[in-house]
Structure 1
Amino acid sequence: MESMHDLETLTLDNLSVSEIRADHFLSSVDSVSIDSISTSHHADVSYNDMPEFRDKLIIREKSFRQQFANLYFVRLVEMRPVVLMAAQKRWNVTSQERTTDEPHAIKHVDRILDVKSGETCYVIGTVYMDMQFKPNILDDVTKEHWDIAPSPRSKYCSDDDKVFLEDESGRIILTGEKLKQEIIVTGVIMAVLGKENAEGEFEVYDVCFAGLPNQAKSIQKSIDDDKYIALICGLKVGENASALPLQMMIEYLTGEIGSLSEQNFSSKIARIIIAGNSLPEVKIMDDDRKQKKYGYDGSMYNAELCLELDDIIDELCSTVPVDLMPGNNDPTNSSLPQQPIIPNLLPKANQHSTFHSVTNPYWCELDGVVFLGTSGQTIDDIYKYVSSEDRLKFAERTLHWRHIAPTAPDTLWCYPFQDVDPFIMSQAPHIYFISNQKEFATSTIEGPDKQRTRIILLPSFAETGVVVLVNLKNLKCHPIFFSSLN
Structure 2
Amino acid sequence: MASVLQPLAPSSTLKFKKVPSGGTPEGQVARLEATYTPHDQRFTLRRREFKQQYSHIYARRLARLRAAAAAEAERLWGGDQLRRCERLVQANADGAGGSGPCVCIGTLYKTMRLRPSVLVEYRDERGISEAIGVPRGDFAAPDDSLLLEDDSGRLNLAADTTTPDVMPAQDLPTGIVVAVRGSVRADGDMAVEAWCPPGLPPQPSPPEGAAHPPGACLLLVSGMLAGGPQDPLPTRLFLDHLAGYLGGAGDHEQIARVVRVVVCGNSAAAPPPPLAGAASGSIGSGKLSAEQQRERTAPLRECDAELAQVAVPVDIMPSASDASNYMLPQRAAHMLFRKRAIQQRKGNIRPNVAAALPVDIMPGASDASNYMLPQQPLHPCLLPLASRYPNARLATNPHEAWVGTRLVLGTAGQPLDDILQYTAAAEGAGGDEGDSARRLQMLENMLRWQHIAPTAPDTLGCYPFLTEDPFVLEECPHVFFAGNQPRFATRLVEGHDGQQKGLLNRAAQVRVVCVPSFATTGEVVLIDLDTLEATPLQFGVSDLGGWETTGPADMAEE
What is the TM-score with the length of structure 1 in the denominator? 0.87
> Paired residue for 1:13?
none
Match of 1:469 among 511, 526, 540: 526
Q: Distance in 1 between matches of 2:371 and 2:119?
A: 21
Q: Does 1:60 align with 2:97?
A: no
Indicate the SS of the match to 1:258. coil
CA contact (8 A) 2:484 2:517 kept: yes
Higher alpha-carbon deviation: 224-233 or 467-476? 224-233
> Paired residue for 1:26?
5
Q: Deviations over 1:351-377 (max 9, x none)?
A: 111010100000011111110010000
Q: Does 1:460 align with 2:517?
A: yes
Indicate the SS of the match to 1:318. helix
Indicate the SS of the match to 1:250. helix
Indicate the SS of the match to 1:316. helix
Taking the TM superposition and a 5 Å limit, the aligned residue runs for 1:307-326 are 307-311=301-305, 312=348, 313-326=350-363
> Paired residue for 1:156?
139
- 1:113–1:405 CA distance, 2 compared to 1 (3 A): same
CA contact (8 A) 2:398 2:412 kept: yes
Q: Distance in 2 between matches of 1:421 and 1:438?
A: 29
> Paired residue for 1:3?
none
> Paired residue for 2:334?
none
Unaligned 5+ segments in structure 1 are 1-6, 8-19, 96-104
Q: Distance in 2 between matches of 1:120 and 1:82?
A: 21
Match of 2:447 among 399, 405, 426: 399
Q: Which amino acid aligns with 1:132?
A: R
What is the TM-score with the length of structure 2 in the denominator? 0.76
Indicate the SS of the match to 1:214. coil
Q: Distance in 2 between matches of 1:243 and 1:86?
A: 50
CA contact (8 A) 1:25 1:257 kept: no
> Paired residue for 1:429?
477
> Paired residue for 2:255?
266
CA contact (8 A) 2:210 2:405 kept: no
Unaligned 5+ segments in structure 2 are 18-28, 160-164, 306-347, 426-434, 499-506, 544-558
CA contact (8 A) 1:41 1:319 kept: no
- 1:476–1:38 CA distance, 2 compared to 1 (3 A): farther
- 1:481–1:72 CA distance, 2 compared to 1 (3 A): same
Indicate the SS of the match to 1:198. coil
CA contact (8 A) 2:108 2:176 kept: yes
Taking the TM superposition and a 5 Å limit, the aligned residue runs for 1:248-287 are 248-284=237-273, 287=276
- Give the CA deviation at 1:284: 3.9
CA contact (8 A) 2:372 2:462 kept: yes
Indicate the SS of the match to 2:220. strand
Match of 2:368 among 331, 344, 350: 331
Q: Does 1:126 align with 2:107?
A: yes
**Corresponding pairs, count:** 451
Q: Distance in 2 between matches of 1:327 and 1:139?
A: 30
- Give the CA deviation at 1:484: 2.2
Q: Distance in 2 between matches of 1:465 and 1:286?
A: 31
Q: Which amino acid aligns with 2:151?
A: E
> Paired residue for 2:314?
none
Q: Distance in 2 between matches of 1:392 and 1:400?
A: 13
Q: Does 1:82 align with 2:68?
A: yes
Indicate the SS of the match to 2:167. helix
Indicate the SS of the match to 2:276. helix
Q: Does 1:113 align with 2:89?
A: yes
Q: Which amino acid aligns with 1:74?
A: R
> Paired residue for 1:16?
none
- Give the CA deviation at 1:381: 0.6
Q: Distance in 2 between matches of 1:472 and 1:295?
A: 50
- Give the CA deviation at 1:260: 2.2
Q: Does 1:185 align with 2:173?
A: yes
> Paired residue for 1:292?
283
> Paired residue for 1:414?
462
Q: Distance in 2 between matches of 1:277 and 1:139?
A: 32
- Give the CA deviation at 1:225: 1.7
- Give the CA deviation at 1:237: 0.6
Q: Does 1:302 align with 2:296?
A: yes
> Paired residue for 2:325?
none
Q: Distance in 2 between matches of 1:57 and 1:77?
A: 19
- Give the CA deviation at 1:303: 2.3
- 1:360–1:222 CA distance, 2 compared to 1 (3 A): closer
- 1:192–1:209 CA distance, 2 compared to 1 (3 A): same
Identity %: 31
Higher alpha-carbon deviation: 426-435 or 254-263? 254-263
CA contact (8 A) 2:101 2:181 kept: yes
- Give the CA deviation at 1:294: 3.5
Taking the TM superposition and a 5 Å limit, the aligned residue runs for 1:235-250 are 235-250=224-239
Cα RMSD (Å): 2.7
- 1:297–1:65 CA distance, 2 compared to 1 (3 A): farther
Q: Deviations over 1:57-102 (max 9, x none)?
A: 1112111111001111111111111111211222217x6xxxxxxx
- 1:90–1:236 CA distance, 2 compared to 1 (3 A): same
> Paired residue for 1:442?
490
Q: Deviations over 1:297-348 (max 9, x none)?
A: 4647722221221132112211211110000000010110000000110011
Q: Which amino acid aligns with 1:70?
A: H
Q: Does 1:72 align with 2:58?
A: yes
> Paired residue for 2:158?
175
- Give the CA deviation at 1:485: 4.1
Indicate the SS of the match to 2:166. helix
- Give the CA deviation at 1:141: 3.8
CA contact (8 A) 1:129 1:186 kept: yes
Q: Distance in 2 between matches of 1:318 and 1:282?
A: 27
CA contact (8 A) 1:272 1:322 kept: yes
Higher alpha-carbon deviation: 314-323 or 181-190? 181-190
Q: Distance in 2 between matches of 1:71 and 1:377?
A: 19
> Paired residue for 1:99?
none
- 1:292–1:87 CA distance, 2 compared to 1 (3 A): same
Q: Which amino acid aligns with 2:199?
A: G
- Give the CA deviation at 1:259: 1.3
